[in-house]
Every structure is written in C-alpha cells, then in structure tokens.
C-alpha cells in the first residue's frame, strides 16, 4: 500500500480525518459507569473521537466518548455518548439501535498542520483540543473493533424496575485498515459540565495518544449481543439527555 497522503475532490468531507484522543483514567471510574454485565477492559482507557462524516448524505460533526469495556469475554468500547450537530440522526439512532446520540455544538478544523476541536453543550465547553502534526505514520495493518450500545425502554406504567423493552447489549463490530495516520502533539482539556460530566466522571490521569486517522472501512455489523439483568440495569436507565451518563432526579442544575 502506498504511503501517499489521501487524495480526493477538494472540499469533499469524505476526505476529513477523524481526530482520536486517548487518555488513561482510574479503573474504578470506568467501573462506576458500567451497568452489571459489562466490566472494565484490560486498560482503563477513554477514547474521544471527533469527526465530520456524511450521515444521511449530509455532514455530521460529532464527538464520540468511549470507555474500554468487556462484554461476554469480548473487549471493546462502551459508548457513553455521541454529541452531534445533526438533529435528524439523533432520535432514529437511539430508537433503532440504542446509539446514545444527542445534540451539541462541535467546532473541528485543520489549518495546515494545526488542529483544533471544541465541543459545547448547554453553554458548557467540556472538551477542547489544540495540537499540531508532529509525524506522519502512513498506512497500517487490518484490525477489528467492538463497540457496545444499550437498547431499552422503561415501562409506560412508570413502575420502578419494569421495562417495555428489557435492556439488551448491541454489538457494533467493525474491521478497518489504517489508510493514513498523523500523530499530533497537543493538549486535551476537559472542563466540568453538569450536562456532560466527562471531567468529573472520567478524570484524565495521562494523555496517551492523539492523532488524525483516515480509515479504510472493510466491514461493519450491528447485532444484538445479549440481554442485561433488568433489575441490575435499572439504576443505569436514568441518564442525562441522550447520553449514558447517570442521571439525577430533576436533571442537571
């Protein structure tokens, strides 16, 4: 495979890279966010992915917040939230797959070797990254990933512990090859927010990696992986907005 930079039609968003930032947190912090049935993976890592990608044939700017987690012996990433700027994709994604999408404002661009991203929700800028390209890494090997979503619906009767759709894990299996990659030198800043408690729930102990990633998509399958115990999941059913961050009575203040 050539190590030439990605080419395409000028301005085509298919050519936009994903900005991936990985940091280490405390394993106990991840454990507190995982419903019974999921457990922390071998390393307590948080992966933030900022993207601009066509969804339903129009641009969608977004931030994916994942924590490393295992289900049924398979390591993957548990999705805490997809903060996006495209309204039409929010509700169908939640209803169809349990994908935790919700509306937010995302600023993400590259100018020459400088890269900036900022995510704001309800007036709080809770994620910010500024960096610069430090090296070009070229293509990589084929690899597989798994992402875990939760699909459920509490009972219309509003009886505690009862579901019209009991909780089930949705597995998103994907296979990629890295077409091109550029490492970034830069700093991730997490700020406290009552609506997106990333800084409070998953404090950064160490920034592990930051890079621009152009993937080659080889396969993607979304399937039902298995049920979760309904009673054990009940405390995790109350969330903030469309995220999987635990909710509080009356909502954030």
What pLDDT is recorded for position 33? 98
207: nearest Cα among 221, 226, 186: 186
Pairs from 203-207 (Cβ < 8 Å, separation ≥ 24): 203/25, 203/26, 203/29, 204/23, 204/24, 204/25, 204/46, 205/23, 205/24, 205/25, 205/26, 206/23, 206/24, 207/21, 207/22, 207/23
What pLDDT is recorded for position 226? 97
**Which residues 6+ apart lie within 8 Å of 211 measured at CB?**
19, 20, 137, 181, 182, 183, 184
138: nearest Cα among 1, 251, 15: 1
pLDDT by 10s per residue, the chain, length 253: 445 677 667 667 777 899 999 999 999 999 999 999 999 999 999 999 999 998 888 889 999 999 999 999 999 999 999 999 999 899 999 999 999 999 999 999 999 999 999 999 999 999 999 999 999 987 888 999 999 999 999 999 999 999 999 999 999 999 999 999 999 999 999 999 999 999 999 999 999 999 999 999 999 999 999 999 999 999 999 999 999 999 865 456 5
Query: At which residue do the structure tokens 């007036």 appear?
Result: 123
Phi, then psi, of 91 in degrees rounded to 5: -75, -35
CA distances from 243 to 101, 136, 148, 167, 196 (A): 7, 34, 13, 15, 8
CATH code matching the domain that covers 13-139+179-216, chosen among 2.60.40.420, 1.10.3720.10, 3.40.50.10790, 2.40.400.10 = 2.40.400.10
Quickly count: other Cβ atoms within 10 Å of residue 139's Cβ.
15
What pLDDT is recorded for position 212? 97
pTM of the predicted model as reported, rounded to 2 decimal places: 0.94
**CB distance 119 to 126 below 8 Å:** yes
**CB distance 244 to 33 below 8 Å:** yes
Pairs from 48-51 (Cβ < 8 Å, separation ≥ 24): 48/20, 48/21, 48/22, 48/23, 48/127, 48/188, 49/18, 49/19, 49/20, 49/21, 50/18, 50/19, 50/21, 50/106, 50/108, 50/117, 50/119, 50/129, 51/16, 51/18, 51/19, 51/108
């Amino acid at each position: 495979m050539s190590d030439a930079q990605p080419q395409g039609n000028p301005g085509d968003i298919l050519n936009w890279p994903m900005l991936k930032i990985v940091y280490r947190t405390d394993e106990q912090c991840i454990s507190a966010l995982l419903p019974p049935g999921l457990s922390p993976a071998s390393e307590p890592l948080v992966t933030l992915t900022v993207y601009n990608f066509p969804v339903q044939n129009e641009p969608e700017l977004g931030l994916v917040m994942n924590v490393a987690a295992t289900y049924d012996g398979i390591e993957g990433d548990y999705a805490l939230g997809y903060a996006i700027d495209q309204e039409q994709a929010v509700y169908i994604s939640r209803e169809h797959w349990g994908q935790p999408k919700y509306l937010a404002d995302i600023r993400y661009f590259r100018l020459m070797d400088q890269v900036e991203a900022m995510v704001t929700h309800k007036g709080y800028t809770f994620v910010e990254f500024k960096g610069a390209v430090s090296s070009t890494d070229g293509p990589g090997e084929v690899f597989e990933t798994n992402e875990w979503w939760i699909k459920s619906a509490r009972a219309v009767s509003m009886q505690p512990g009862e579901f019209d759709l009991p909780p089930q894990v949705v597995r998103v299996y994907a296979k990629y090859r890295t077409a091109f990659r550029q490492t970034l030198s830069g700093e991730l800043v997490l700020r406290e927010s009552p609506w997106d408690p990333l800084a409070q729930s998953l404090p950064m102990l160490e920034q592990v990696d930051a890079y621009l990633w152009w993937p080659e998509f080889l396969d993607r399958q979304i399937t039902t992986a298995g049920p979760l115990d309904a009673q054990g999941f009940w405390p995790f059913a109350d969330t903030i907005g469309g995220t999987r961050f635990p909710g509080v009575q009356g909502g954030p203040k």
